[in-house]
Amino acid sequence: MELSDWELVRKCQEGESEAFQELVARYHRKVFLVVVGILNHREDAMEVAQETFFRAYKNIKGFKGGAAFYTWLYRIAVNLSIDFQRRQKRSATEYRETMDDLTDKGEGTELANDPYVDLQSKELGERLLAAINELTPDHKAVIVMRAVEGLSYKDMGRILGCSEGTVMSRLHYARKKLQEKLAPFI
Amino acid sequence: MMMDCENVRKSLGAFLDEELNRSEAERIRMHAQGCPSCLAEKEQLERLQASLKSVLEGRASGVAFGPFWDGVRRRILEKKPWTARLWDWLRPALYPERLAWAIPVAIVLLLGIVSLEQFLPGWRGGSNRGNTTAVDSIDGHGFNVAVFRESKTKTTVIWLYENQEEEDESAAEPASPDTSF
Amino acid sequence: MNLLRNPLRRTLLFSFWLLLLAGNVAAAEKGQQAVQLIIGTILASNESEDFDSKLSKMKNQLEVIKYRSYRLIKEESQKVPWLGNAAFEIPGGRTLTVVPQEYRNNRLALKVRLQDGEKPLLDTTVRIRNRGNFLLGGPAHEGGVLILSISGMTQ
Protein backbone atom coordinates (compact mmCIF):
# COMPACT_ATOMS: atom_id res chain seq x y z
CA MET A 1 0.00 0.00 0.00
CA GLU A 2 1.33 3.40 -0.96
CA LEU A 3 2.08 5.67 1.97
CA SER A 4 0.71 9.20 2.01
CA ASP A 5 3.04 12.22 1.83
CA TRP A 6 2.47 12.92 5.49
CA GLU A 7 3.32 9.35 6.50
CA LEU A 8 6.55 9.58 4.51
CA VAL A 9 7.33 12.93 6.12
CA ARG A 10 6.82 11.40 9.57
CA LYS A 11 9.20 8.58 8.70
CA CYS A 12 11.78 11.14 7.50
CA GLN A 13 11.40 13.01 10.75
CA GLU A 14 12.11 9.76 12.56
CA GLY A 15 15.32 9.38 10.56
CA GLU A 16 14.32 7.01 7.76
CA SER A 17 16.20 8.36 4.78
CA GLU A 18 14.53 5.88 2.39
CA ALA A 19 11.26 7.70 3.01
CA PHE A 20 12.83 10.92 1.82
CA GLN A 21 14.08 9.16 -1.29
CA GLU A 22 10.48 8.12 -1.95
CA LEU A 23 9.32 11.74 -1.61
CA VAL A 24 11.98 12.84 -4.08
CA ALA A 25 10.88 10.15 -6.50
CA ARG A 26 7.31 11.33 -6.12
CA TYR A 27 7.94 15.03 -6.69
CA HIS A 28 11.24 15.52 -8.52
CA ARG A 29 9.66 15.84 -11.92
CA LYS A 30 6.97 18.27 -10.76
CA VAL A 31 9.45 20.41 -8.90
CA PHE A 32 11.76 20.42 -11.86
CA LEU A 33 8.89 21.47 -14.14
CA VAL A 34 8.04 24.46 -11.97
CA VAL A 35 11.67 25.46 -11.62
CA VAL A 36 12.55 25.10 -15.28
CA GLY A 37 9.40 27.06 -16.15
CA ILE A 38 10.66 29.95 -14.07
CA LEU A 39 14.36 29.73 -14.94
CA ASN A 40 14.09 28.57 -18.55
CA HIS A 41 17.46 26.89 -18.29
CA ARG A 42 17.79 23.17 -17.78
CA GLU A 43 21.13 22.98 -15.98
CA ASP A 44 20.24 25.80 -13.62
CA ALA A 45 16.83 24.27 -13.06
CA MET A 46 18.40 20.92 -12.20
CA GLU A 47 20.66 22.59 -9.65
CA VAL A 48 17.81 24.56 -8.08
CA ALA A 49 15.44 21.58 -8.03
CA GLN A 50 18.07 19.46 -6.28
CA GLU A 51 18.79 22.28 -3.87
CA THR A 52 15.03 22.44 -3.17
CA PHE A 53 15.01 18.85 -1.97
CA PHE A 54 18.20 19.38 -0.01
CA ARG A 55 16.62 22.34 1.81
CA ALA A 56 13.48 20.31 2.39
CA TYR A 57 15.59 17.49 3.85
CA LYS A 58 17.44 19.88 6.16
CA ASN A 59 14.22 21.44 7.38
CA ILE A 60 11.88 18.50 7.37
CA LYS A 61 11.85 18.29 11.16
CA GLY A 62 10.27 21.75 11.19
CA PHE A 63 7.45 20.68 8.87
CA LYS A 64 4.38 20.33 11.07
CA GLY A 65 1.89 19.26 8.47
CA GLY A 66 -0.19 22.43 8.68
CA ALA A 67 -0.07 22.65 4.90
CA ALA A 68 0.22 19.94 2.27
CA PHE A 69 3.77 18.71 1.77
CA TYR A 70 3.76 19.69 -1.89
CA THR A 71 2.77 23.32 -1.14
CA TRP A 72 5.64 23.49 1.33
CA LEU A 73 8.00 21.94 -1.23
CA TYR A 74 6.84 24.22 -4.03
CA ARG A 75 7.23 27.19 -1.76
CA ILE A 76 10.90 26.31 -1.30
CA ALA A 77 11.29 25.66 -5.03
CA VAL A 78 9.62 28.89 -6.12
CA ASN A 79 11.52 31.01 -3.60
CA LEU A 80 14.83 29.46 -4.61
CA SER A 81 14.01 29.91 -8.29
CA ILE A 82 13.02 33.53 -7.88
CA ASP A 83 16.13 34.22 -5.83
CA PHE A 84 18.28 32.39 -8.33
CA GLN A 85 16.84 34.29 -11.24
CA ARG A 86 17.26 37.63 -9.58
CA ARG A 87 20.86 36.66 -9.07
CA GLN A 88 21.53 35.42 -12.53
CA LYS A 89 19.38 37.40 -14.94
CA ARG A 90 20.27 35.13 -17.79
CA SER A 91 20.56 36.62 -21.24
CA ALA A 92 18.28 35.91 -24.16
CA THR A 93 21.23 34.34 -26.01
CA GLU A 94 21.56 31.66 -23.40
CA TYR A 95 17.86 31.06 -23.62
CA ARG A 96 18.08 30.46 -27.35
CA GLU A 97 20.95 28.05 -26.88
CA THR A 98 18.88 26.14 -24.39
CA MET A 99 15.97 26.02 -26.77
CA ASP A 100 18.19 24.77 -29.58
CA ASP A 101 19.61 22.09 -27.33
CA LEU A 102 16.13 21.04 -26.39
CA THR A 103 14.75 20.81 -29.86
CA ASP A 104 17.87 19.08 -31.21
CA LYS A 105 17.47 16.40 -28.58
CA GLY A 106 13.78 16.10 -29.29
CA GLU A 107 12.99 17.16 -25.78
CA GLY A 108 10.85 20.13 -26.74
CA THR A 109 7.15 20.18 -27.24
CA GLU A 110 5.14 17.09 -28.00
CA LEU A 111 5.45 17.29 -31.73
CA ALA A 112 2.88 16.06 -34.20
CA ASN A 113 3.88 13.91 -37.20
CA ASP A 114 2.73 16.40 -39.85
CA PRO A 115 5.85 18.42 -40.85
CA TYR A 116 3.85 21.64 -41.14
CA VAL A 117 2.23 21.20 -37.73
CA ASP A 118 5.63 20.14 -36.47
CA LEU A 119 7.20 23.40 -37.57
CA GLN A 120 4.30 25.48 -36.32
CA SER A 121 4.38 23.81 -32.91
CA LYS A 122 8.11 24.28 -32.66
CA GLU A 123 7.79 27.96 -33.48
CA LEU A 124 4.95 28.40 -31.02
CA GLY A 125 6.94 26.59 -28.35
CA GLU A 126 9.94 28.83 -28.88
CA ARG A 127 7.88 31.97 -28.89
CA LEU A 128 5.94 30.87 -25.87
CA LEU A 129 9.10 30.22 -23.88
CA ALA A 130 10.56 33.53 -25.04
CA ALA A 131 7.38 35.31 -23.95
CA ILE A 132 7.41 33.59 -20.54
CA ASN A 133 11.02 34.57 -20.16
CA GLU A 134 10.07 38.22 -20.41
CA LEU A 135 7.67 37.99 -17.48
CA THR A 136 8.75 38.92 -13.98
CA PRO A 137 9.67 35.99 -11.70
CA ASP A 138 6.44 36.41 -9.70
CA HIS A 139 4.33 36.28 -12.86
CA LYS A 140 6.28 33.32 -14.21
CA ALA A 141 5.69 31.45 -10.97
CA VAL A 142 1.90 31.68 -11.19
CA ILE A 143 1.76 30.93 -14.90
CA VAL A 144 3.94 27.87 -14.52
CA MET A 145 2.27 26.49 -11.40
CA ARG A 146 -1.15 26.89 -12.93
CA ALA A 147 -0.25 25.48 -16.33
CA VAL A 148 1.83 22.57 -15.14
CA GLU A 149 0.26 21.61 -11.88
CA GLY A 150 -3.17 23.17 -12.14
CA LEU A 151 -2.75 24.47 -8.61
CA SER A 152 -5.63 26.37 -7.07
CA TYR A 153 -5.32 30.09 -6.37
CA LYS A 154 -5.46 29.27 -2.68
CA ASP A 155 -2.50 26.89 -2.88
CA MET A 156 -0.54 29.31 -5.03
CA GLY A 157 -1.26 32.05 -2.51
CA ARG A 158 0.13 29.82 0.24
CA ILE A 159 3.21 28.99 -1.80
CA LEU A 160 3.94 32.58 -2.74
CA GLY A 161 2.89 34.09 0.56
CA CYS A 162 0.24 36.33 -0.98
CA SER A 163 -3.55 36.52 -1.21
CA GLU A 164 -5.76 34.69 -3.71
CA GLY A 165 -6.67 38.07 -5.17
CA THR A 166 -3.01 38.79 -5.84
CA VAL A 167 -2.59 35.41 -7.51
CA MET A 168 -5.65 36.14 -9.68
CA SER A 169 -4.38 39.54 -10.75
CA ARG A 170 -0.87 38.23 -11.43
CA LEU A 171 -2.29 35.46 -13.58
CA HIS A 172 -4.54 37.89 -15.45
CA TYR A 173 -1.66 40.23 -16.13
CA ALA A 174 0.74 37.45 -17.13
CA ARG A 175 -1.78 35.85 -19.51
CA LYS A 176 -2.56 39.18 -21.07
CA LYS A 177 1.14 39.70 -21.73
CA LEU A 178 1.47 36.26 -23.28
CA GLN A 179 -1.62 36.78 -25.41
CA GLU A 180 -0.21 40.04 -26.72
CA LYS A 181 3.09 38.44 -27.64
CA LEU A 182 1.59 35.30 -29.15
CA ALA A 183 -1.58 36.66 -30.77
CA PRO A 184 -0.72 35.55 -34.33
CA PHE A 185 0.19 32.03 -33.20
CA ILE A 186 -2.68 30.99 -30.97
CA MET B 1 -22.36 45.96 -23.37
CA MET B 2 -18.78 47.12 -23.91
CA MET B 3 -18.24 47.61 -20.20
CA ASP B 4 -19.68 44.20 -19.53
CA CYS B 5 -17.29 42.64 -22.05
CA GLU B 6 -14.39 44.28 -20.32
CA ASN B 7 -15.44 42.87 -16.95
CA VAL B 8 -16.04 39.45 -18.45
CA ARG B 9 -12.58 39.41 -20.02
CA LYS B 10 -11.02 40.28 -16.71
CA SER B 11 -12.65 37.22 -15.19
CA LEU B 12 -12.17 34.83 -18.11
CA GLY B 13 -8.93 33.43 -16.73
CA ALA B 14 -10.45 32.74 -13.33
CA PHE B 15 -13.48 31.23 -15.10
CA LEU B 16 -11.28 28.78 -17.02
CA ASP B 17 -9.39 28.00 -13.83
CA GLU B 18 -12.74 27.24 -12.13
CA GLU B 19 -12.03 29.76 -9.43
CA LEU B 20 -15.29 31.70 -9.71
CA ASN B 21 -18.38 30.99 -7.68
CA ARG B 22 -21.31 29.31 -9.41
CA SER B 23 -23.35 32.42 -10.20
CA GLU B 24 -20.35 34.37 -11.45
CA ALA B 25 -19.25 31.45 -13.61
CA GLU B 26 -22.77 31.15 -15.02
CA ARG B 27 -22.82 34.84 -15.88
CA ILE B 28 -19.53 34.52 -17.78
CA ARG B 29 -20.67 31.39 -19.60
CA MET B 30 -23.95 32.97 -20.66
CA HIS B 31 -22.19 36.11 -21.85
CA ALA B 32 -19.59 34.20 -23.83
CA GLN B 33 -22.29 32.20 -25.61
CA GLY B 34 -23.84 35.35 -26.96
CA CYS B 35 -20.72 37.44 -27.52
CA PRO B 36 -18.43 36.30 -30.37
CA SER B 37 -15.49 38.47 -29.32
CA CYS B 38 -15.53 37.23 -25.71
CA LEU B 39 -15.97 33.68 -26.95
CA ALA B 40 -12.94 34.15 -29.20
CA GLU B 41 -11.01 35.55 -26.26
CA LYS B 42 -12.00 32.57 -24.13
CA GLU B 43 -10.93 30.13 -26.82
CA GLN B 44 -7.66 31.93 -27.27
CA LEU B 45 -7.01 31.68 -23.54
CA GLU B 46 -7.83 27.98 -23.64
CA ARG B 47 -5.36 27.46 -26.47
CA LEU B 48 -2.76 29.45 -24.60
CA GLN B 49 -3.27 27.33 -21.51
CA ALA B 50 -3.04 24.12 -23.51
CA SER B 51 0.11 25.30 -25.28
CA LEU B 52 1.69 26.32 -22.01
CA LYS B 53 0.99 22.95 -20.47
CA SER B 54 2.29 21.12 -23.48
CA VAL B 55 5.43 23.20 -23.89
CA LEU B 56 6.34 23.27 -20.22
CA GLU B 57 5.65 19.61 -19.59
CA GLY B 58 7.82 18.69 -22.54
CA ARG B 59 10.75 20.16 -20.71
CA ALA B 60 10.72 17.57 -17.95
CA SER B 61 10.93 14.64 -20.30
CA GLY B 62 14.65 14.19 -19.87
CA VAL B 63 14.67 14.21 -16.07
CA ALA B 64 15.56 10.76 -14.81
CA PHE B 65 15.24 9.95 -11.14
CA GLY B 66 18.65 8.28 -10.73
CA PRO B 67 20.92 11.21 -11.57
CA PHE B 68 18.51 13.60 -9.87
CA TRP B 69 18.60 11.65 -6.61
CA ASP B 70 22.40 11.38 -6.84
CA GLY B 71 22.57 15.17 -6.95
CA VAL B 72 20.30 15.53 -3.93
CA ARG B 73 22.20 12.88 -1.96
CA ARG B 74 25.52 14.49 -2.78
CA ARG B 75 24.23 17.75 -1.28
CA ILE B 76 22.97 15.96 1.80
CA LEU B 77 26.31 14.21 2.38
CA GLU B 78 28.40 17.28 1.57
CA LYS B 79 29.45 19.33 4.57
CA LYS B 80 29.44 22.98 3.64
CA PRO B 81 31.93 25.26 5.41
CA TRP B 82 30.36 27.68 7.88
CA THR B 83 31.20 30.65 5.66
CA ALA B 84 29.22 29.13 2.79
CA ARG B 85 26.29 28.44 5.12
CA LEU B 86 26.42 31.98 6.44
CA TRP B 87 26.49 33.33 2.92
CA ASP B 88 23.53 31.13 1.95
CA TRP B 89 21.68 32.58 4.90
CA LEU B 90 22.52 36.18 4.15
CA ARG B 91 22.39 36.15 0.36
CA PRO B 92 18.61 36.33 -0.16
CA ALA B 93 18.44 39.47 1.92
CA LEU B 94 21.02 41.23 -0.25
CA TYR B 95 19.29 41.20 -3.62
CA PRO B 96 18.52 44.70 -4.88
CA GLU B 97 14.80 43.94 -4.91
CA ARG B 98 14.94 43.21 -1.22
CA LEU B 99 17.22 46.04 -0.27
CA ALA B 100 14.20 48.05 0.78
CA TRP B 101 14.88 46.68 4.25
CA ALA B 102 18.24 48.45 4.23
CA ILE B 103 16.60 51.80 5.01
CA PRO B 104 14.88 50.71 8.24
CA VAL B 105 17.96 48.71 9.17
CA ALA B 106 20.14 51.80 8.70
CA ILE B 107 17.79 53.74 10.97
CA VAL B 108 17.80 50.93 13.52
CA LEU B 109 21.61 50.79 13.40
CA LEU B 110 21.83 54.52 13.91
CA LEU B 111 19.50 54.31 16.88
CA GLY B 112 21.51 51.32 18.08
CA ILE B 113 24.72 53.32 18.02
CA VAL B 114 23.04 56.07 19.99
CA SER B 115 21.72 53.52 22.47
CA LEU B 116 25.11 51.84 22.75
CA GLU B 117 26.54 55.17 23.75
CA GLN B 118 24.19 55.07 26.73
CA PHE B 119 25.58 51.68 27.80
CA LEU B 120 29.21 52.29 27.01
CA PRO B 121 30.00 55.98 27.19
CA GLY B 122 32.93 56.89 25.01
CA TRP B 123 33.06 53.46 23.30
CA ARG B 124 33.71 55.06 19.96
CA GLY B 125 37.08 56.45 20.96
CA GLY B 126 39.61 56.92 23.71
CA SER B 127 39.41 59.26 26.65
CA ASN B 128 40.61 62.18 24.56
CA ARG B 129 37.68 61.96 22.23
CA GLY B 130 35.31 61.82 25.18
CA ASN B 131 36.66 65.06 26.49
CA THR B 132 35.44 67.37 23.75
CA THR B 133 33.52 70.24 25.27
CA ALA B 134 31.09 72.56 23.56
CA VAL B 135 30.74 76.09 24.87
CA ASP B 136 27.18 77.28 24.36
CA SER B 137 27.47 80.75 25.89
CA ILE B 138 30.03 82.81 27.70
CA ASP B 139 29.95 86.18 29.46
CA GLY B 140 33.07 87.71 31.03
CA HIS B 141 31.25 90.61 32.73
CA GLY B 142 33.65 93.14 31.27
CA PHE B 143 36.74 90.94 31.46
CA ASN B 144 38.36 89.47 28.40
CA VAL B 145 37.67 85.83 27.95
CA ALA B 146 39.17 83.36 25.51
CA VAL B 147 38.24 79.80 24.64
CA PHE B 148 41.03 77.53 23.55
CA ARG B 149 40.67 74.08 22.18
CA GLU B 150 43.66 71.84 21.71
CA SER B 151 43.01 69.25 19.04
CA LYS B 152 45.49 66.55 20.11
CA THR B 153 44.22 66.08 23.63
CA LYS B 154 40.80 67.62 22.86
CA THR B 155 41.26 69.89 25.82
CA THR B 156 39.01 72.90 26.16
CA VAL B 157 40.23 75.83 28.21
CA ILE B 158 38.25 78.93 29.10
CA TRP B 159 40.69 81.63 30.04
CA LEU B 160 39.62 84.64 32.05
CA TYR B 161 41.91 87.65 31.82
CA GLU B 162 41.07 88.93 35.28
CA ASN B 163 43.81 91.54 35.33
CA GLN B 164 43.97 93.43 32.05
CA GLU B 165 47.33 94.98 32.86
CA GLU B 166 48.99 91.67 33.41
CA GLU B 167 47.45 90.18 30.35
CA ASP B 168 50.30 90.96 27.97
CA GLU B 169 52.94 89.63 30.29
CA SER B 170 51.06 86.53 31.22
CA ALA B 171 52.75 83.27 30.49
CA ALA B 172 49.36 81.79 30.12
CA GLU B 173 49.41 81.49 26.38
CA PRO B 174 47.81 78.26 25.30
CA ALA B 175 49.66 76.67 22.47
CA SER B 176 46.69 75.49 20.49
CA PRO B 177 46.90 76.12 16.77
CA ASP B 178 43.11 75.87 16.36
CA THR B 179 42.17 78.51 18.85
CA SER B 180 38.56 79.49 18.69
CA PHE B 181 36.89 82.38 20.31
CA MET C 1 8.61 41.11 4.36
CA ASN C 2 10.78 38.15 3.40
CA LEU C 3 13.35 39.09 5.98
CA LEU C 4 10.87 38.37 8.71
CA ARG C 5 9.84 34.97 7.44
CA ASN C 6 12.96 33.33 8.77
CA PRO C 7 12.62 32.71 12.52
CA LEU C 8 16.34 33.25 13.17
CA ARG C 9 16.36 36.62 11.44
CA ARG C 10 13.15 37.50 13.21
CA THR C 11 14.75 36.66 16.55
CA LEU C 12 17.86 38.68 15.72
CA LEU C 13 15.82 41.73 14.77
CA PHE C 14 13.68 41.35 17.87
CA SER C 15 16.78 41.14 20.06
CA PHE C 16 18.16 44.24 18.45
CA TRP C 17 14.96 46.12 19.18
CA LEU C 18 15.13 44.91 22.77
CA LEU C 19 18.67 46.24 23.00
CA LEU C 20 17.47 49.58 21.72
CA LEU C 21 14.62 49.65 24.15
CA ALA C 22 16.88 48.74 27.05
CA GLY C 23 19.37 51.41 25.97
CA ASN C 24 16.71 54.06 25.89
CA VAL C 25 15.24 52.96 29.22
CA ALA C 26 18.74 53.13 30.69
CA ALA C 27 19.18 56.58 29.20
CA ALA C 28 15.87 57.71 30.65
CA GLU C 29 16.83 56.38 34.09
CA LYS C 30 20.19 58.04 33.81
CA GLY C 31 18.45 61.31 33.10
CA GLN C 32 16.77 61.14 36.50
CA GLN C 33 19.89 60.46 38.55
CA ALA C 34 22.10 63.01 40.28
CA VAL C 35 25.30 64.42 38.89
CA GLN C 36 28.64 64.01 40.56
CA LEU C 37 30.68 67.17 40.13
CA ILE C 38 34.41 67.23 40.83
CA ILE C 39 36.29 70.50 40.97
CA GLY C 40 40.06 70.36 41.08
CA THR C 41 41.82 73.63 41.87
CA ILE C 42 45.32 73.77 40.46
CA LEU C 43 47.90 76.47 41.01
CA ALA C 44 50.01 77.03 37.93
CA SER C 45 53.13 79.13 38.13
CA ASN C 46 56.61 79.61 36.72
CA GLU C 47 58.30 79.72 40.11
CA SER C 48 59.52 76.15 40.07
CA GLU C 49 59.58 73.07 37.88
CA ASP C 50 57.51 70.92 40.22
CA PHE C 51 54.69 68.86 38.82
CA ASP C 52 52.27 67.47 41.37
CA SER C 53 52.06 63.69 40.95
CA LYS C 54 48.37 63.84 41.85
CA LEU C 55 47.88 65.58 38.51
CA SER C 56 49.65 62.95 36.44
CA LYS C 57 46.40 61.91 34.72
CA MET C 58 45.93 65.47 33.54
CA LYS C 59 49.49 66.07 32.44
CA ASN C 60 48.70 66.12 28.73
CA GLN C 61 45.88 68.56 29.25
CA LEU C 62 47.88 70.87 31.45
CA GLU C 63 50.75 70.98 29.02
CA VAL C 64 48.43 72.94 26.75
CA ILE C 65 48.80 75.83 29.21
CA LYS C 66 52.47 76.67 29.24
CA TYR C 67 53.36 77.05 32.87
CA ARG C 68 56.29 75.25 34.40
CA SER C 69 54.80 74.15 37.69
CA TYR C 70 51.44 72.69 38.58
CA ARG C 71 50.16 71.87 42.05
CA LEU C 72 46.78 70.56 43.09
CA ILE C 73 45.73 72.71 45.98
CA LYS C 74 42.21 71.51 46.45
CA GLU C 75 39.81 68.90 45.16
CA GLU C 76 36.17 68.88 46.05
CA SER C 77 33.34 66.66 44.98
CA GLN C 78 29.60 67.20 45.32
CA LYS C 79 26.58 65.25 44.28
CA VAL C 80 23.90 67.54 42.99
CA PRO C 81 20.46 66.92 41.49
CA TRP C 82 19.58 68.17 38.03
CA LEU C 83 18.97 71.93 38.09
CA GLY C 84 20.37 71.99 41.65
CA ASN C 85 23.09 74.43 42.74
CA ALA C 86 26.54 73.29 43.78
CA ALA C 87 28.80 75.98 45.23
CA PHE C 88 32.55 75.45 45.58
CA GLU C 89 34.89 77.68 47.53
CA ILE C 90 37.87 78.67 45.45
CA PRO C 91 41.01 80.08 47.10
CA GLY C 92 41.20 83.87 47.09
CA GLY C 93 37.60 84.43 48.22
CA ARG C 94 36.09 83.28 44.97
CA THR C 95 33.11 81.01 44.50
CA LEU C 96 32.31 78.64 41.69
CA THR C 97 28.67 77.73 41.22
CA VAL C 98 27.70 74.88 38.93
CA VAL C 99 24.15 73.99 37.89
CA PRO C 100 23.74 70.74 35.91
CA GLN C 101 21.00 71.48 33.43
CA GLU C 102 20.40 68.46 31.24
CA TYR C 103 21.82 65.24 29.97
CA ARG C 104 21.54 64.51 26.28
CA ASN C 105 23.60 62.52 23.79
CA ASN C 106 25.97 61.49 26.55
CA ARG C 107 26.73 65.12 27.32
CA LEU C 108 26.11 67.06 30.48
CA ALA C 109 25.09 70.68 30.07
CA LEU C 110 26.52 72.70 32.95
CA LYS C 111 25.84 76.30 33.79
CA VAL C 112 28.93 77.66 35.47
CA ARG C 113 29.45 80.94 37.34
CA LEU C 114 32.68 82.21 38.84
CA GLN C 115 32.44 85.16 41.19
CA ASP C 116 34.71 87.14 43.43
CA GLY C 117 32.67 87.82 46.54
CA GLU C 118 29.48 89.22 45.10
CA LYS C 119 31.07 90.34 41.86
CA PRO C 120 30.48 88.02 38.91
CA LEU C 121 33.61 87.28 36.89
CA LEU C 122 32.37 84.77 34.38
CA ASP C 123 29.17 83.07 33.31
CA THR C 124 29.25 80.23 30.85
CA THR C 125 27.22 77.26 29.73
CA VAL C 126 29.16 74.29 28.49
CA ARG C 127 28.35 70.78 27.39
CA ILE C 128 30.92 68.24 28.47
CA ARG C 129 31.04 64.54 27.82
CA ASN C 130 29.88 62.36 30.67
CA ARG C 131 33.00 61.80 32.81
CA GLY C 132 34.79 64.46 30.79
CA ASN C 133 36.13 67.81 31.93
CA PHE C 134 37.11 71.27 30.85
CA LEU C 135 39.51 73.77 32.28
CA LEU C 136 38.72 77.24 33.52
CA GLY C 137 41.80 79.33 34.18
CA GLY C 138 43.01 82.84 34.69
CA PRO C 139 42.33 84.11 38.22
CA ALA C 140 45.56 85.25 39.80
CA HIS C 141 46.68 83.55 43.00
CA GLU C 142 49.94 83.49 45.01
CA GLY C 143 52.22 84.53 42.17
CA GLY C 144 50.58 82.23 39.69
CA VAL C 145 47.15 81.53 38.26
CA LEU C 146 44.37 79.21 39.26
CA ILE C 147 43.17 76.57 36.88
CA LEU C 148 39.93 74.85 37.69
CA SER C 149 39.31 71.42 36.27
CA ILE C 150 35.54 71.03 36.18
CA SER C 151 34.28 67.56 35.55
CA GLY C 152 30.93 65.88 35.91
CA MET C 153 29.52 62.42 35.65
CA THR C 154 26.19 60.74 35.85
CA GLN C 155 25.62 56.98 36.17
**pLDDT tens digit string along C67-85?**
889 999 999 999 999 888 8
Is B106 part of the contact surface with chain C (CB cutoff 8 Å)?
Answer: no
Q: What is the pLDDT of residue B90?
A: 76
Question: Where are chain C's structural domains?
Answer: 1-32, 34-153
pLDDT at B171 exceeding the cut of 60: no
Confidence of residue A46 (pLDDT cuts 50, 70, 90): very high
Averaged pLDDT score across all residues of chain B:
76
Confidence of residue C28 (pLDDT cuts 50, 70, 90): low
Q: What is the DSSP letter of B150?
A: E
Q: Mean pLDDT over residues C117-138, rounded?
A: 89
Query: For chain A, what is the domain count?
Result: 1
Specify whether the CB–CB gap between C35 and C108 falls below 8 A. yes
Query: For chain B, what is the domain count?
Result: 3
pLDDT at B172 exceeding the cut of 60: no
Q: What is the pLDDT of residue A105?
A: 41
Confidence of residue C27 (pLDDT cuts 50, 70, 90): low
Averaged pLDDT score across all residues of chain C:
84
Q: Mean pLDDT over residues A145-158, rounded?
A: 90
Q: Are residues B143 and B169 in the same domain?
A: yes
Is A143 part of the contact surface with chain B (CB cutoff 8 Å)?
Answer: yes
Residue A46, domain CATH: 1.10.1740.10
pLDDT at B166 exceeding the cut of 50: no
Q: According to the 3-state scheme, what is the secondary structure of A107-160? A: CCCCCCCCHHHHHHHHHHHHHHHHHHHCCCHHHHHHHHHHHHHCCCHHHHHHHH
Averaged pLDDT score across all residues of chain A:
81
Percent of chain C clearing pLDDT 70 (strictly above): 86
Q: What is the pLDDT of residue C112?
A: 94
- Whether the model clears a pTM of 0.80, i.e. scores above it, the answer is no
* Inter-chain touch B56–A49, beta carbons under 8 Å: no
State which residues form the domain around B167: 126-181
Is A6 part of the contact surface with chain B (CB cutoff 8 Å)?
Answer: no
Confidence of residue C3 (pLDDT cuts 50, 70, 90): low
Confidence of residue B162 (pLDDT cuts 50, 70, 90): confident
Residues of A in contact with B53 (CB under 8 A): 147-148
Specify whether the CB–CB gap between A149 and A78 falls below 8 A. no
A67 vs A102, higher pLDDT: A67
Q: What is the pLDDT of residue C6?
A: 60
Q: Kindly report, residue by residue over B26-55, the tens digit of the pLDDT.
A: 999 999 888 999 999 999 999 998 888 888
Q: What is the pLDDT of residue A111?
A: 36
pLDDT at B102 exceeding the cut of 60: yes
All residues at 6 or more sequence positions from C126 whose CB lies less than 8 Å from its CB, including other chains = B133, B134, B135, B136, B156, B158, C109, C110, C112, C134
Specify whether the CB–CB gap between C42 and C147 falls below 8 A. yes
Q: Kindly report, residue by residue over A106-148, the tens digit of the pLDDT.
A: 443 333 345 555 556 677 788 888 899 889 888 999 999 998 8
Closest Cα to residue C136, out of C82, C98, C83, C86? C98
pLDDT at B134 exceeding the cut of 90: no
Q: What is the pLDDT of residue B126?
A: 46
Q: What is the pLDDT of residue B135?
A: 87
Q: Mean pLDDT over residues B130-146, rounded?
A: 80
State which residues form the domain around A82: 5-182
* Inter-chain touch B95–A83, beta carbons under 8 Å: yes
* Inter-chain touch C127–B89, beta carbons under 8 Å: no
Residue B17 lies in a domain: yes
Q: Which of residues 79-118 of A touch B (CB under 8 A)?
A: 79, 83, 86-87, 102, 105, 107-110
A157 vs C19, higher pLDDT: A157
Residue B72 lies in a domain: yes
Query: B136 vs chain A: nearest CA distance in angstroms?
Result: 53
Q: Closest to C121 (Cβ–Cβ): which among B118, B152, B162?
A: B162
Percent of chain A clearing pLDDT 70 (strictly above): 82
Q: Kindly report, residue by residue over C6-16, the tens digit of the pLDDT.
A: 656 666 777 77
Residue B117 lies in a domain: no
pLDDT at C126 exceeding the cut of 60: yes
Q: How far apart are CA A185 and CA C148, in angstroms?
A: 92
Q: What is the H or E stretch that residue B8 is in?
A: helix B2-16
Q: How far apart are CA C75 and CA C65, in angstroms?
A: 20
pLDDT at B12 exceeding the cut of 50: yes
